[in-house]
Amino acid sequence: MKLKKDEVVWLLIFISPAICLFFLFFILPILFLFVTSFTNWDGIGAEFVGLENYSKLLNKKSFIRAITNNLYWCVTAALITVPLALIVALLLAHRSRGWKVFRTVLFIPQVVSSAAIAMLWAAMFNAEYGLVNFLLEIIGFSDFEKYNWLGNVRTANAALIGFSLCYVGYFMVIMLAKTAGISDDYYDAANIDGATQFQKDVYITAPLIKSTFFLCIILAVIFNLRQFEYVYLMTAGGPANKTQVLVVYIWNELSVQRLGRGNAAGVIMICIGAALLLILRKLLKSETYN
Amino acid sequence: MKKDLSINFYSIFKWVIIISFVLYAVFPFLWLILASLKTNAELLDDPFALPEVFQFKNYADAMEAAGLGQLIINSLVISTSATFLNILFSSMCAFAIARHTFWGKNVLFLMITAGILVPLNALIIPYFAIINFLNLYDTRLGLILVYCAVGLPVSTFILTEFFKSIPKEIEEASFLDGCNFVSRYFKIMLPLAIPGLATAGTFQFILCWNEFIYAMLLTSSTEIRTIQFGISYFTNQFFSDYVGMFAAVVISILPSITVFILFQERVITGLTAGSVKG
């Protein structure tokens, strides 16, 4: 649509709030992050220190542990949570009676705040009154009485990953929505050929929602890279830094005023995110077209 | 006969899987509600048994002890204003992008939507510095601005796609009738886009209500603090009052679940719209 002259002014007025906010809270912070990561900024003064922050970080065991833990979260989400979500989506795609109720209920953990979920599951794993130990005892594992899942070096990470499976519903809903667009013709043809429900799910539905499956993997990786609340509220990175993740690490640097160092960690985090996205796009794109 | 058996087997498998995931998602919440109605002694004694008397006063205690009323009001004020501003600004921008051609339009849209992929939590230190520089530390306005900006990429994306799906003819007719830019937006586009606005608004509200890290980062006083940050204080403050903590958690999750149940079709279509692009 062609604009009159005075309407160009209005157009500028319309896009400027979004541009200002975007500049102030996306572009400026990223520039700021990069610049200060080369300084020893502590909130008061800053001096240029070159790559010192980076070399210090990369030589720190706890920081490397944070990176590997983040990758561990990403990989489990991509290889366990999303495939499980695919299975549930395929099964709910039959649209059997009550499927909408199941969809709604499975989605609920997604709309509850991470802070509340973290506190809820910390209580579930609690050694004194937690339900996990109680249920284990009921089914016969008596050795778990008063077992502290989150406080033990051996089980802390496994417990964190285990509870994160309650987010299956989110990815399931995305994939389930995609199945709604599949034409009935495919299934009619399969019925004529005498295909079973299982065959229809595996050979028709699953391949047709492949691109959404890959999208879910990308989303899962982004979410797990930026996650903070679970680790911060459930273990605070402990025991012995075993469950440390990047954002909690940055938070800790912030609380001791090592802002330059924290920002260097932020830069590394953004680079890891970009690298993961590029790798996934490459991998999954070649998959899609083959 | 054999075929029937395999069908039955598959359908049993199906229900076992579905039911077990539903239990996994819901069972902890049911336990949370149950536990919030017990006394601390009952909880430690047997976490799963029904309480002798339902302790509804745990809720009253939690409201009073932690000042939850104030926290809820703060959260409501901050979430609704941030949602309103976010939807206003992103719909204005989306209207400009979806309906007009101007220099740099595609770059603008790509840049803003690429913001969805930025791991924002890496930027906590710069956000802290910027909010301090603007003199907005420990103010509601500071949090409102941050939430409004954080949700901008998703809202702009959803609304631009939605505006594009509205037929151009209506707007063109009004253009010929001499309807100017601003009234085309307010009188033609916004009323037609109500479903899209509701989708983006629901997402934004849930995001604001649930947000934790910036609330912890950018506020310090109880008069400003939001409920999500408030409930985490329970872990330190009343470390022995578990049932009070559970009651507080239940109170904190009710609003977002209510909004979701009311607008669930919108949330789910919103997710689909977002995933179409791939």
**Residue to substitute from B68, B123, B233, interface A, most A β-carbons within 10 A:** B123
Could you read off the pLDDT of A96-124 as tens digits, one per residue?
Answer: 888 888 999 999 988 899 899 999 998 88
**How many CB pairs (< 8 A) connect A and B?**
274
For A187-190, the CB contacts below 8 A with 24+ separation are none
Among B28, B97, B175, whose Cβ lies nearest the Cβ of A1?
A: B175
pLDDT band for B41, please (50, 70, 90 cuts): confident
Q: pLDDT higher for B168 or B130?
A: B130
pLDDT at B278 exceeding the cut of 50: no
Contacts of B6 in chain A (CB under 8 A): 196, 198
ipTM of the predicted structure?
A: 0.88
The stretch B210-214 carries a mean pLDDT of 92
Q: Do B278 and A215 touch (CB under 8 A)?
A: yes
| Whole-number percent of chain B with pLDDT over 90 | 39
pLDDT band for B3, please (50, 70, 90 cuts): low
Instruction: Report the pLDDT value the prediction gives residue B1, as an integer from 0 to 100.
Output: 46
User: B57-65 and B242-262 helices cross at what angle (nearest 10)?
Assistant: 100
pLDDT at A274 exceeding the cut of 90: yes
pLDDT band for A8, please (50, 70, 90 cuts): confident
When mean pLDDT is compared across A254-258, B63-67, B71-75, B165-169, the lowest value belongs to: B63-67
Q: Do B97 and A198 touch (CB under 8 A)?
A: no
What's the whole-number average pLDDT of chain B? 87
Q: Do B121 and A247 touch (CB under 8 A)?
A: yes
Could you read off the pLDDT of A79-101 as tens digits, one per residue?
Answer: 999 999 999 999 999 888 888 88
pLDDT at A36 exceeding the cut of 90: yes
pLDDT band for B6, please (50, 70, 90 cuts): low
Nearest CA in chain A to B236: A233
Instruction: Report the pLDDT value the prediction gives residue A31, as an integer from 0 to 100.
Output: 95
Q: Do A116 and B253 touch (CB under 8 A)?
A: yes
| AA letter at B156 | T
Q: Do A229 and B125 touch (CB under 8 A)?
A: no
Q: Do A196 and B261 touch (CB under 8 A)?
A: no
pLDDT band for A17, please (50, 70, 90 cuts): very high
- Is residue A98 within 8 A of residue B15, CB to CB? The reply is no
| AA letter at B41 | A
Supply the pTM of this predicted model. Answer: 0.89
Contacts of A178 in chain B (CB under 8 A): 272, 275
Instruction: Report the pLDDT value the prediction gives residue B273, as an integer from 0 to 100.
Output: 63
Contacts of B181 in chain A (CB under 8 A): 3, 7, 10-11, 14
Q: Do A29 and B127 touch (CB under 8 A)?
A: yes
Looking at the DSSP assignment, which residues form a beta bridge with residue A39? A48
Contacts of B117 in chain A (CB under 8 A): 222, 273, 277
Per DSSP, the residues of A222-238 read: HHHHS--HHHHHHTTT-
* Chain B closest-CA separation from residue A74 CA (Å): 13
The stretch A40-52 carries a mean pLDDT of 87
Q: pLDDT higher for A60 or A141?
A: A60
The stretch A191-198 carries a mean pLDDT of 89
Per DSSP, the residues of A62-103 read: HHHHHHHHHHHHHHHIIIIIHHHHHHHHHHHTT--TTHHHHH
Could you read off the pLDDT of B112-138 as tens digits, one per residue?
Answer: 999 988 888 999 999 999 999 999 999
Which residue, chain included where needed, has tokens 């579905």? B18
**Residue to substitute from A2, A13, A19, A22, interface B, most B β-carbons within 10 A:** A22
pLDDT at B277 exceeding the cut of 50: no
pLDDT at A289 exceeding the cut of 60: no
Contacts of A119 in chain B (CB under 8 A): 231-232, 234-235, 245, 249
Instruction: Evaluate the CA torsion angle A37, A41, A47, A49 in order and state its sign.
Output: negative
Among B89, B259, B271, whose Cβ lies nearest the Cβ of A17?
A: B89
Instruction: Report the pLDDT value the prediction gives residue B126, as an integer from 0 to 100.
Output: 95
What's the whole-number average pLDDT of chain A? 88
Q: Do B115 and A22 touch (CB under 8 A)?
A: yes
A120 touches chain B (CB under 8 A): yes
pLDDT at B232 exceeding the cut of 90: no
Instruction: Report the pLDDT value the prediction gives residue A69, as an integer from 0 to 100.
Output: 93
H helices present in chain A, as ranges: 5-22, 28-36, 52-58, 61-76, 82-92, 99-111, 114-124, 131-138, 156-163, 168-179, 184-192, 197-200, 206-208, 210-225, 229-234, 246-255, 259-289
Instruction: Report the pLDDT value the prediction gives residue A129, as an integer from 0 to 100.
Output: 83
Contacts of A270 in chain B (CB under 8 A): 118-119, 122
- Is residue A221 within 8 A of residue A280, CB to CB? The reply is yes
In angstroms, the CA B224 to CA B222 distance is: 5
In angstroms, the CA A124 to CA A133 distance is: 8
Domains annotated for chain A, with CATH where assigned, are 56-289 (1.10.3720.10)
The stretch A162-186 carries a mean pLDDT of 87
Instruction: Fold for B59-276, please state it.
Output: MetI-like fold (1.10.3720)
pLDDT band for B39, please (50, 70, 90 cuts): confident
pLDDT at A2 exceeding the cut of 80: no
Contacts of B182 in chain A (CB under 8 A): 10
Q: Do A111 and B256 touch (CB under 8 A)?
A: yes
Query: Number of H helices and number of E strands within chain A?
Result: 17, 0
Instruction: Report the pLDDT value the prediction gives residue A53, as an integer from 0 to 100.
Output: 92
Instruction: Report the pLDDT value the prediction gives residue A7, as an integer from 0 to 100.
Output: 82
**Structure tokens, A271:** 């680079």
Could you read off the pLDDT of B131-153 as tens digits, one per residue?
Answer: 999 999 999 999 999 999 999 99
In angstroms, the CA B96 to CA A204 distance is: 41
* Chain B closest-CA separation from residue A168 CA (Å): 8
Q: Is A186 exposed, middle or buried (0-12, 13-18, 19+ CB in 10 A)?
A: middle
Q: pLDDT higher for A77 or B8?
A: A77
The stretch A8-35 carries a mean pLDDT of 94
